Structure 1
Amino acid sequence: MLKLSDTWNWYYDEEKSSLMLEISEEMVFRADLPRKVLVESAFKPQPFSVEDAHLYEMFQHSVRGLDISVPRQAELILKAVTVKRFHKPVQPKSWFFDSCGDDYQPEEGEIVELSNGLNSGVFLVVEASETASIVVSVNLEDFYLTESKTLAFCQPIKVMHDRMRPANAIYTQTNIRLVS
């Protein structure tokens, strides 16, 4: 797993049309979010902040139990931090998912399940608000929104809470000690 450093820096690469995070001279993370969904601050060079580091650690804790490789976990964590910090507010696209009818209120960093008539999948809650949250896909295979539209690994979407089911219990490892 990547070790946090105060030398990491965000910048927008016009040539690649992408927000980047310089981790070292040899390593750069490409956020791969369309320009139109980025807030204005994404286009100004800036350091990886203390808040970014806090988010990184929170998301790192959340994805530990997922059955994905360490490099994929790092990619997921960095994408989650990027989306939380630089994604513009958007409207929910809940029509792609089945309603669960629950009065559920997820927290940031939580793992949730979403489903539709084509598939079900696991998502990481990146930004929670009162009625809807931005989530990123944790599914290594494309998640089918429709027969012709998919969400790739780490791709964000905003969804109403009544479409989500909690899935943390399945994916988090807890150590329970019995005391007599």
Structure 2
Amino acid sequence: MEFLSPFKLKSLIPDAKITTEFSVEHAKFYIALVDRLQKTLSLNDALIVQIALNATAAHFLLKPQMPKSWFFDVSHECVYSDIGKIFQLRTTEHSVSAMVIESGLQASLVMILSQECRLTETKKLAQFETIKVMHNRLAPLTVERKVNVA
């Protein structure tokens, strides 16, 4: 089976440019995400698998990013960032769902789960693209326990 991620070649580490086997470490990360997503999202299994595979590829194969928090409003609630946890990112115009795929001390790399995230009039992120944001931009979900992102 072959999986193609949506990530641009220039954003990947050199190891991603060669054929890579799915390792035990990749499998553990992927399985943990699938388990968490099935408990959190109201989606069909195919979309959960697609989200988990893209998140696994991003976690292991993307180059490090600098935070770009200025696109998003500060959250007024303190949150705990954890891999696989889903948050809202809010701009002045809208909010989108995003999942943490890498959590650091002050910032997290998140993957956009909504169809798109408009950052400015000319710049937007598509579903499954990633952006690194400071933790104070992560807002808790304001909907039921299970979320529909599509």
TM-score, normalised relative to structure 2: 0.87
C-alpha distance in 2 between matches for 1:168 and 1:109: 17
How far apart are the structure 1 equivalents of 2:111 and 2:142?
Answer: 15
Partner in structure 1 of residue 132 of structure 2: 158
Contact 1:59–1:77 under 8 Å retained in 2: yes
CA contact under 8 A between 1:110 and 1:168: conserved in structure 2?
no
Structure 1 partner of 2:71: 96
Question: What's the offset of the Cα at 1:43?
Answer: 2.0
Aligned match of 1:138: 113
Matched residue, 2:19: 45
Q: Are the aligned partners of 1:137 and 1:153 in contact in 2 as well (CA < 8 Å)?
A: yes
**Moved segments of 4+, more than 4 Å:** none
Counterpart-to-counterpart distance in 1, 2:13 and 2:63: 5
- Residues 1-180 of structure 1 mapped to structure 2, 5 A cutoff: 23=1, 28-64=2-38, 65-139=40-114, 141-167=115-141, 170-172=144-146
Hey, what's the Cα distance between the residues in 2 that align with 1:55 and 1:149? 31
Structure 1 residue matching 2:73: 3-state secondary structure: coil
Greater RCO, CA 8 A, separation 6+: 2
Q: Structure 1 residue 39: deviation in Å?
A: 1.0
Unaligned runs of 5+ in 2: none
- 3-state SS of the aligned residue for 2:3? strand
What amino acid maps onto 1:120 in structure 2?
S
Displacement after TM superposition at 1:58 (Å): 1.5
Corresponding residue SS for 2:64: coil
Q: Share of identical aligned residues, percent? A: 30
C-alpha deviation, 1:44, in angstroms: 2.8
The structure richer in strand per residue is: 1
Describe the superposition over 1:47-69 as per-residue Cα deviations: whole angstroms up to 9, x where unpaired.
10111111111111222132333
Query: 1:65-123: CA deviations, max 9, x gaps?
Result: 32333222211110000000001111011111001154433011111111011110111
Shift of 1:46: 2.7
Shift, 1:144, TM fit: 1.3
| Bigger helix share | 2
Question: What displacement does 1:171 show?
Answer: 3.8
* Root-mean-square deviation over aligned CA pairs: 2.0
Count of paired positions: 146
Per-residue Cα deviation, 1:123-164 (whole angstroms, up to 9, x for no partner): 11000001111110111x212112222211111111110100
TM-fit CA distance, 1:169 = 8.0
Deviation at 1:45, TM superposition (A): 2.3
Counterpart Cα distance in 2 of 1:147 and 1:97: 14
Q: Which has the larger radius of gyration?
A: 1
- Quote how far apart the aligned CAs of 1:172 are: 4.7
